[in-house]
Structure 1
């Protein structure tokens, strides 16, 4: 960041306030309700939490922050860290040769978008083990999954996972993941310091991963909107708890009690 701290604060806050018209237009176009000033404060605090963190938000083009801010408005999801509907992350852009800020979806945001479409009746995610009776019947069919025991210790090693959606019209959409992919994402989460992957809730974390992967299959079936089908919203990696974002969530109550800028 070549600007001084004060200069960057002025730039960021100025750019955010200047896009109010676009923000409101995004909401009115789709009938969503979000408070501009509240969302501005979320974004401002999240971005500033990345100061002195290599490749974090303040070191990305401010235009990419604004684009992500408006993208959240277009899909009608709040960036409130405690709601965990969507989040900001940084990614290296091959085209620009620099890190940029991107919008990502949390599993709660995916579920909200899915049910808000009015086309989804039920979404289920689960993992299965070697000794379970499991059969994948194709992307447009329900899986077969039964087990005679509840103890994971008696069901063998993790053998994979699935997420399936029953649509209002009675049809199904199903996504499966092999254990290697689930465990790779699990290891990434551990490396990023997400302690939930080391807890007794590891299967719930795996199910969240399955929901995020399933969105790649489900979204095009229930939404035709080009923004909703943005490839950047299909990232199933465990990015929503990057170190600076997690730190911001932990100090959210005190941070948000201060006005932005």
Structure 2
């Protein structure tokens, strides 16, 4: 057979080869995602929001499909709709390159973190605010804690931010406050995967407020669900081992190949686990080729990770 005939046959085989879109992959895996969804969520609405998220951020189509499905599953499990579509700041799904591979990453938003904290039923009120140059601000820790903030009329831009703080009142009458300087917020931002894009670029104040709330989570009466969400922030969601992997797309074909049979589908490696010796938080699904220094998640003030055997 001549080269031209072979090429024509190869192209015909490519045309006849079954392909599915991201929507088809979502439909196939949706029962697993729907199974972890709380009763108050609308399954059809969540499905459409997942598709809209990919349309809003086209590079998600280049990500390992298992990581994309995992992030959608994480949003569903937490009862938080992805905010890239409506901009409400509950949760985000963004693409990042990890050791040469594109992965979808779950990022918890400020409003999502506040919503999770309030679900515990033990919190009367929780909020976080930003302090800017020109504001009157003073605080004191100790036996007689105090915090006073009088907003001024200065510019509310990231370069003018000086502090962020959070205040949580418990239903039993107690309270908890925490304050972070701009330098501390910047240290967290620089360790973040999304340090120069995503919500850090578009909603800096909200992310700064989320940062101080997240640091306070270990000291608040929040649910295990909320603690888990804080730990899985800026990861692939933690569900990749529970989802069937399909072959990633070719750069020239924005579609996903599917195995000819279910038996040929390969289960993803669950990855390794790392535990923080300081606070005990566990980071799941660390890639096999990663070093401890590659872990950018800040679980506490002084994270010190070791591999969990």
TM-score, normalised relative to structure 2 = 0.54
Which residue of the other structure, out of 215, 220, 225, is the alignment partner of 1:217? 215
Corresponding position of 1:85? 90
**C-alpha RMSD of matched pairs (Å):** 3.9
Q: Is the Cα contact below 8 Å between 2:161 and 2:182 reproduced in 1? A: yes
Q: State the distance in 2 between where 1:16 and 1:219 align.
A: 33
Distance 1:9 1:111, change over 3 A: farther
The reply to whether residue 132 of structure 1 matches residue 136 of structure 2 is yes
Contact 1:219–1:229 under 8 Å retained in 2: no
Distance 1:44 1:17, change over 3 A: same
| Cα displacement string for residues 182-238 of structure 1 (whole angstroms, at most 9, x for unaligned residues) | 56859x9996598x97xxxxxxx5652343113323444302238734534269xxx
Structure 2: 5+ residue runs without aligned partners?
Answer: 1-13, 236-309
CA distance in 1, matches of 2:35, 2:95: 26
**Corresponding residue number in structure 2 for 1:248:** none
- Name the CA shift for 1:216/1:131 in 2 (closer, same or farther; >3 Å): closer
CA contact (8 A) 1:216 1:234 kept: no
The answer to whether structure 1 residue 26 and structure 2 residue 36 are counterparts is: yes
Q: 2:55 aligns with which of 25, 29, 48?
A: 48
- Give the structure-1-normalised TM-score: 0.63
Higher strand proportion (structure 1 or 2): 2
Q: Secondary structure at the match of 1:233?
A: coil
Within a 5 Å distance, the mapping from 1:54-203 to structure 2 comes to 56-79=59-82, 81-82=85-86, 83-94=88-99, 97-128=100-131, 129=133, 132-137=136-141, 143-147=146-150, 150-152=152-154, 158-182=161-185, 192=197
Q: Specify every segment of 5 or more residues in structure 1 that has no aligned partner in the other structure, as ranges.
A: 198-204, 236-261
C-alpha contact (below 8 Å) 1:102/1:232 kept by paired residues: no
Give the distance between the partners of 1:114 and 1:193, measured in 2 at CA.
23
